[in-house]
Amino acid sequence: MTLRVRVAAGVLGVVTVACVVGPWLLPDANTIDPTNVYASASLAHPFGTDDLGRDVLARLLVGGRVSLLVALLAALAATVFGGTVGVAAGYLGGAFDRALMRTVELMIAIPKLPLFLVLAAVDFGRWFDGAAADVVRLVVIIAAFGWMTTARLARAEAKRLKQAGWVKAAELLGASPTHVLARHVLPGALSTIVVAATLDLAEFVVYESVLSFLGLGVRPPAPSWGAMLQNGLTYTRTAPHLFVLPGVFTGVTIAALLTLGEGLSDRLDPRRQV
């Protein structure tokens, strides 16, 4: 592992632990203090306060929980679905493969924004309560439009593996397609899928931010990095830290994830080691 990748993994660990543990040690993220709005950094509020006098650090960490959880769950769903479908299509070929590729092309051709709007209006509150409904909705929207890259990569890898000696050997020994797929092709394609999942994570953190920025994310007063960014937009003149800080948190997380993904793909693909 290179130093870059180690640093990236460390940064990611610190951000995650801070988001998970931090909110217990800090003032409540939703407590309003009208006498202390737009405060700069102080001992009581290390990152100052926002337009309603809420502690910015606490909100960043609680918001980080939402942003990271959404990205993580969406990446998990997109990886499992995209990976399975992609590997199966690449190995089996034929009609299933053609159907998948046409679907992927169609999904890329469809303008996502209006569909986001439509899906954002779907009321998940019927099945989940309160904040959980918002998280589930974001995960569904992001995963539904984020599985195609993984599927494409997994398909290409499965097509390549289909020619591999051990796969041919298993086929000649009379193994069923399901067996070959599950025991020989999927494990071989796993490294590609893991790299794709890491890069998906980075992209989905951005998705969450953009969706919340357009007002399709978690509902106030619940924070998320994208929602805080959107809130900060109004106060660029009076309190620039309100939009700078969530952006920095998002950017650092994405940078760490991209570095990690690059490092992983270099490590798993010997051809790219220079």
Partner 1 sequence: MRFSRRIVGIGVLLFVLSALSFALLHVMPGSVEEQILAQNPSLTPEAIDRIRTLRGLDRSGVERYGCWLLGNHGDLCAWWPGGSGVLFGDLGWSSVHRERVAPLLWRRFSITFALMFPAMLLSLLVAVPLGAFAASDPRVDRVARALTFLGLSTPGHWTALFAVFLFAVTLGWFPASGVTSVDDTGFFDRVYHAVLPVAVLMVVFVSRWSRFVRDAVRDALAEPFVQTARAKGLDERQVLWGHAVKNALFPLITVVTQSLPALFSGAVIVEQVFAHPGVGLLLFESVHAQDLLVAMVVFLVYAAATMIAMALADTLYRWADPRLRSST
Give the burial string for 198-228 (b: 16+ CB within 10 Å, else e). bbbbbbbbbbbbbbbbeebbbeeebbbbbbb
CB of 66 to partner 1, least distance (A): 16
Grouping H, G, I as helix, E, B as strand and the rest as coil, residue 49 is: strand
- State which residue, 175 or 258, has the beta carbon closest to partner 1: 258
Nearer to partner 1, 53 or 251 (CB): 251
Of 91 and 204, nearer to partner 1 (C-beta) is 204
Which of 242, 197, 255 has the alpha carbon at shortest distance from 15? 255
Q: For the purposes of burial, counting CB atoms within 10 Å of the CB of 272, is it exposed (0-12), middle (13-18) or buried (19 or more)? A: exposed
Smallest separation, CB 175 to partner 1 (Å): 29
Tell the smallest beta-carbon distance from residue 31 to partner 1 (Å).
27
Q: Which is nearer to partner 1, 222 or 242 (CB)?
A: 242
55 by DSSP, 3-state: which?
strand
**Smallest gap from residue 115 Cβ to partner 1 (A):** 7
**Shortest separation between residue 29's beta carbon and partner 1, angstroms:** 21
Closest CB to partner 1 among residues 83, 261 = 261
Nearer to partner 1 among residue 180 and residue 256 (C-beta) = 256
Smallest separation, CB 75 to partner 1 (Å): 17
Burial of 149 (0-12, 13-18, 19+ CB in 10 A): middle
**Rule CB under 8 A: which residues touch partner 1?**
105-106, 108-111, 113-115, 117-118, 121-123, 206, 209-210, 213-214, 229, 232-233, 236-237, 240, 243-244, 247, 250-252, 254-255, 258
CA dist., res. 242 & res. 234, Å (int): 9
Look up residue 111 and give its amino acid: P
Decide: 49 and 245 in contact? Cβ < 8 Å: no
Which residues fall within 8 angstroms of residue 108, CB to CB, at 6 or more apart?
A: 148
